[in-house]
Copies of this chain bind each other. A is one copy, B any other.
Amino acid sequence: MDPIRRCVTQLSRLPGIGEKTAQRLTWWLLRAPDDLVRELAESLAELKAAVKECSQCHTIAASDPCPICADPRRDPAMICVVERPQDISAVERSGEYHGLYHVLHGAISPLDGVGPEQLRLRSLIQRAASVTEVIVATDPDVEGDATALYIARALKPAGVKVSRLAHGVAVGTEIEYADRVSLMRALENRRAL
């Protein structure tokens, strides 16, 4: 196949990149410095080979244990449970959390055929036996709620404290434009001043 055509085809397999965008990117790459294109190709080629699943928290990282699990400054008495590895970056950006993580790789969703067995829940229950608090940071949707409830019930016998991220109006949102469900949650979770 023609190398230009081939590049367009491959790029258009990416999510959110249609035929037109793939063409635009390909012609941009043809005019870009050789180094830039080579570095991009190399970073893609090495991406999958260079990463593994952390045997403790199940995130995807270059090392096992991952940098966070291996960091002695992290508080080993707290576990923050997230659905996806990329959720860790979001929590880390808050700068407020210094414990460990646990990546479920999904959320309970009977309609999609995802039950507790398909998630990394068994190892969470094992890890939770030696911590004081588990913070559930699953998405604020039906699947995330069901998963949080399942975790709370599963960890009850161990006597570990289970909490969930507060939901409410996002900071910076004008009340006028806040969505109905966030406002409902914000009212439920109102705090005395």
User: Which of chain B's residues have a CB closer than 8 A to the CB of A29?
Assistant: 14, 44, 47-48
Q: Across the interface, do B47 and A44 meet the contact criterion of CB distance under 8 Å?
A: no
- Whether B24 pairs with A60 at a CB distance below 8 angstroms is no
- Asked if A166 is at the interface of the complex by the 8 Å CB criterion, the answer is no
CB distance from A15 to the nearest CB of B (A): 5
The oligomer's copy count stands at: 2
B3:A50 contact, CB within 8 angstroms: yes
Could you tell me the distance in whole angstroms from the C-beta of A21 to the nearest C-beta in chain B?
7
In the complex, how many angstroms separate the beta carbon of A30 from the nearest chain B beta carbon? 6
Show 6 residue pairs from A and B whose CB-CB distance is below 8 angstroms, ordered by the A residue: A2-B62, A11-B40, A15-B25, A23-B86, A29-B47, A37-B47
Q: Which residue numbers of A lie inside 8 Å of B, CB to CB?
A: 2-4, 6-7, 9-11, 13-16, 21, 23-30, 34, 36-48, 50-51, 60-62, 84-86, 89
Closest 5 CB pairs of A and B: A3-B50, A41-B45, A41-B44, A10-B43, A10-B40
